[in-house]
């Protein structure tokens, strides 16, 4: 296998595994979000506000996409991806949240991180899967 092909495969696998583990963390936290807010004595409206985090995620995808497009640099893509996945690490901090407000903020931060990382990650995935077909690459991812 050529060096370039091996490097593309490594990039694809690394992004796919990173995305898998981030989704495991998110889905685990998301599944207990409402019950956890209830445990922290949050009002019922807090569960509805939690859904607002999804809107934030989509709005941040717009911001992340614009930032990635303006930069058009692989280095900036990786910085945005790293920042987005780094923000995902706030989810384990939910265990230390002493109030429902803090927990809600942590959920929002995670969604913002996902919104920022998704567009540049998709650009890199489309570039590294060009040889095998973008549809196959995104399907495997």
How confident is the model over 37-43, as a mean pLDDT? 92
Cα separation of 58 and 41, whole Å?
28
Give me the helix-helix angle, 74-87 and 100-128, nearest 10°: 150
In a domain, 2, yes or no: no
In a domain, 135, yes or no: yes
Q: Which range marks the domain in which residue 85 is found?
A: 12-140
In a domain, 33, yes or no: yes
10 Å Cβ neighbour count for 36? 18
For residue 18, the surrounding DSSP H or E stretch is helix 3-39
What are the pLDDT digits (tens) for 63-110? 888 887 787 777 888 888 899 999 988 998 999 998 999 999 999 999
In a domain, 5, yes or no: no
What are the pLDDT digits (tens) for 44-55? 899 888 888 888
10 Å Cβ neighbour count for 30? 17
In a domain, 58, yes or no: yes
In a domain, 97, yes or no: yes
Q: Would you mind telling me the total number of residues written for the chain in this entry?
A: 141
Cα separation of 18 and 39, whole Å?
30
- C-alpha triplet 2, 18, 96: angle, nearest 5°: 160
pTM passes above 0.85: no
Q: How many domains does the chain have?
A: 1
In a domain, 110, yes or no: yes
In a domain, 4, yes or no: no
So what's the pLDDT on residue 135?
67
């Amino acid at each position: 296998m050529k060096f370039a092909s091996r490097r593309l495969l490594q990039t694809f696998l690394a992004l796919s595994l990173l995305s898998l583990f981030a989704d495991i963390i998110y889905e685990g936290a998301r599944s207990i979000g409402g019950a956890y807010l209830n445990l922290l004595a949050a009002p019922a409206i807090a569960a509805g506000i939690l859904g607002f985090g999804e809107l934030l995620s989509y709005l941040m995808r717009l911001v992340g996409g614009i930032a990635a497009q303006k930069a058009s640099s692989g280095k900036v893509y990786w910085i945005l991806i790293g920042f987005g996945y780094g923000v995902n690490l706030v989810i384990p901090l939910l265990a230390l949240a002493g109030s429902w407000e803090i927990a809600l903020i942590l959920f929002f931060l995670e969604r913002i991180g996902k919104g920022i990382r998704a567009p540049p990650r998709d650009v890199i995935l489309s570039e590294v899967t060009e040889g095998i077909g973008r549809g196959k690459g995104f399907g495997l991812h």
